[in-house]
Amino acid sequence: MKTLLVILGAGLVAGFPDLSEKPQSRVLPKIELTNVTKINVNSAKSAKFSARSIFGPFMGVDFPDPSIISANGLWYAFATTSNGKNIPFATSIDVFPGQGSDTFTWTLGTTDALPDAGPWADAGKGIWAPDIQLNDDGTFVILTHVDMTDYTAWKNGGTHCIGVATSGSVTGPYTPQSTPLICDDAGGGVIDAAGYDDGENRWIMWKVDGSALGGLTTCVNTPTGSIYYPTPIMIQQMQRDAITLVGSPSKILDHVGANNDGIVEAPSLYKISDGNYVLFYSAHCFNDDNYDIEAAFSSTINGAYTDRVIVMNTANPYGIYGPGGLDIDPNGVTAVFHGRLNPNDRSGARQLFSGDIKITRGSVTY
């Protein structure tokens, strides 16, 4: 469940990728990410700030690959293994503009949402990019919710797989299923699971981690080959329980080679008012300043997504380096993402930011 708000800064034109597909003759929405904010979690409780005079909601800790959900009158964010937890979480009551407060605070949880990753996973290597959603087993899900969290973990002795864990409480502890949901050893593994509910059908998206096979990608190691392996974003229908797969997957996006370092990942989906779908994703190396948030469009949920645009990159007015990992709430407005505070800091903390997404009709110009 993901929602985004980002403001595009000057200088983004130079950052547009050289796309492999030709833009179609249709008028595309304009996407803006706005109200991006920043506050240190340790000092937020001791002072009040005007919502327009600060740069944030923000937590001054490592909190990569965030996912959000609203429940019990609060916002909850979950992240990749960090802060001494397999899956850490944070809460906020007033993080977004228009919510009746001007303090914008996040509070880091003290417990682990997934203390046991299950018998098939090697939690010692990390639990990556959790996605939190609510299935249909509770009536008016926010109060009596049975939450589902899709998480990615290293399969024992193998590549990344996607697994499912469940809990009756939004903060857990979550109980993992005994076997993984999706694996793809030949493709390099699977990561970045993301659920989506179109009101009739549920879907799951993920990235086939071809870059783990080596090749030209330089994100972690020196190149080991002469080609960029595919890293396609896949989508597959699920039953309304948000656990059971239906049918077979479809490829909806892939990288365009050197123009994005052979990487696309971290999908998040939203249906816009004209009936089309916008797929948010990240491109380039996650630990590089070129890492960014991009979007592409399709008239069908499981069709090819084209007309790629940059939503936010390092050339932004906030001093956020390598923004990525965007998650969009189903309301189509609220979003979270991570970014670093210093340039050329490949191992720097990826900290949590939030904002609103604004989608309007008109040509996409920056």
| Cα–Cα distance, 95 to 75 (Å, whole number) | 8
pTM for the whole structure: 0.84
| Cα–Cα distance, 52 to 56 (Å, whole number) | 9
pLDDT at 288: 93
What distances in angstroms separate CA 141 from CA 75, 119, 242, 296, 332, one per listed residue? 14, 29, 13, 30, 18
Q: Which CATH architecture has domain 13-360?
A: 5 Propeller (2.115)
User: Is residue 281 within 8 Å of 253, Cβ to Cβ?
Assistant: yes
pLDDT at 12: 31
Beta-ladder partners of 203: 196, 237
| Cα–Cα distance, 156 to 124 (Å, whole number) | 10
Q: How many CA atoms lie within 13 A of 60 on its CB side?
A: 7
Residues of the chain with pLDDT under 50: 1-20, 22-25, 39-56, 97-103, 138-148, 363-366
What is the DSSP annotation of 131-162? Answer: EEEE-TTSTTHHHH--EEEEEEEEBTTS-EEE
Task: Count how many residues are written for the chain.
Answer: 366
pLDDT at 149: 56
pLDDT at 38: 52
What is the DSSP annotation of 11-48? Answer: T-GGG----SSPPPSSPPPEEEEE------TTTGGG--
Beta-ladder partners of 165: 149, 176
